[in-house]
Structure 1
Amino acid sequence: MPTQEAKVAPTPAGFSPEYVKDGSNALNALLADVFALYIKTKNFHWHMEGPHFRDYHLLLDEQSDQIFAMSDDVAERVRKIGGTTIRSIGHIAKLQTIADDDKQHVNSKEMLSELLDDNRSLLEVMREAHTIADDAKDVATASLLENWLDETERRTWFLFETLK
């Protein structure tokens, strides 16, 4: 009696190779920007000064924790769909669209304004990744992105309100 070979899906979750490539690219771009925004938010948290120091310092600490918390989930999602993820700071630097801020001094309003713009940019990266996931019927990735979008919109709102 001949043995039957088991059918093996091309990826762990059965996604097409095209989606693995496109989805991984979108999520890795997001991951690079998450790391860039995390470092910038921490940088500004560490260097905050002025009359609203305590409030802004605590706000940015909370926001950086939330941003960092996304990183492992993004990377693991890339692996779950069958891709590989970023491997180094150099790889992050190649993919990030959020610019670093190495200035010696940035005043508090400039910090908050820059973070507002960066969170808005992150929203766009997430929305693009969501479209790619939706097109591939990758409900799990789309669902994660929806939660991260909501968190990012909340960060954006808080930053927006501090600048009034």
Structure 2
Amino acid sequence: MKTNIGISDENRKAVSDQLTKLLADEFILYTKTRNAHWNVEGPDFHTMHLFFESQYEQLDEIMDSVAERIRKIGHYAPATLTQFLQLTHLTEKGADKNDSMSFLKELLEDHESIIEFIRGNINPIANDFNDAGTSDFLTGLMETHEGMAWFLRAHFK
């Protein structure tokens, strides 16, 4: 059945295109955070192992919510590694070392990149594509990433 939610097909497609890029970024960040969880070494291993676990658990929920948002507006979410690598703004480059500070720095940069991407889409999605719901969703998601970035950034003080 056709999606009839008060947003034109063209606008829903434009919004979906941005959300698929975001989903790809979230998946890459999730994978990099899992890598940090699995491979961190050093005297702070236990603490950082648990910290990275809490971060990837949050990212898992975020990925699901972004994919579901794509579906709510009538499109299909990308779900292959090939698609994610084609769509992402992030790189797969890993930390040079397996110490917590290297992982923290890389993950912080990725969160900040996602925050900037989201922030740049909030108003256009509401104003240009008439999708206040997705705009509101993105605002909440941006705030979640800001909180996660704060937790990462606090390790550098």
TM over 0.5: yes
Question: Following TM superposition, by how much is the alpha carbon of 1:72 offset from its aligned partner in structure 2, in angstroms?
Answer: 1.7
Comparing 103-112 with 65-74, which one deviates more in the overlay? 103-112
Say whether 1:83 aligns with 2:75: yes
Say whether 1:122 aligns with 2:106: no
Q: Given that residues 7 and 130 in structure 2 are in contact (C-alpha distance below 8 angstroms), is that contact kept between their aligned partners in structure 1?
A: no
Spell out, residue by residue over 1:76-98, the C-alpha distance to the aligned partner (whole angstroms, 9 max, x if none).
21122122221311101100111
User: Mapping of 1:5-154 within 5 angstroms?
Assistant: 11-102=3-94, 105-135=97-127, 136-154=129-147
Question: CA RMSD for the aligned pairs?
Answer: 1.9
Instruction: Give me the TM-score of the superposition, normalised by structure 1.
Output: 0.86
Question: Following TM superposition, by how much is the alpha carbon of 1:103 offset from its aligned partner in structure 2, in angstroms?
Answer: 6.3
State which of 151, 154, 161 in structure 1 corresponds to 2:154: 161
Q: 2:33, 2:52 → 1: CA distance?
A: 6
Q: Given that residues 48 and 108 in structure 1 are in contact (C-alpha distance below 8 angstroms), is that contact kept between their aligned partners in structure 2?
A: yes
Instruction: Give me the TM-score of the superposition, normalised by structure 2.
Output: 0.90
Larger Rg: 1
Letter in 2 for 1:12: N
Q: 2:36, 2:93 → 1: CA distance?
A: 9
Q: Given that residues 27 and 129 in structure 1 are in contact (C-alpha distance below 8 angstroms), is that contact kept between their aligned partners in structure 2?
A: no
Letter in 1 for 2:148: R
Q: 1:110, 1:103 → 2: CA distance?
A: 6
Q: SS in structure 2 opposite 1:101? A: coil
How many percent of aligned residue pairs carry the same amino acid?
35
Distance change in 2, residues 1:82/1:153 (3 Å): same
Q: 2:149, 2:113 → 1: CA distance?
A: 10
Q: Given that residues 41 and 63 in structure 1 are in contact (C-alpha distance below 8 angstroms), is that contact kept between their aligned partners in structure 2?
A: yes
Q: SS in structure 1 opposite 2:59? A: helix
- Aligned length, in residue pairs: 156
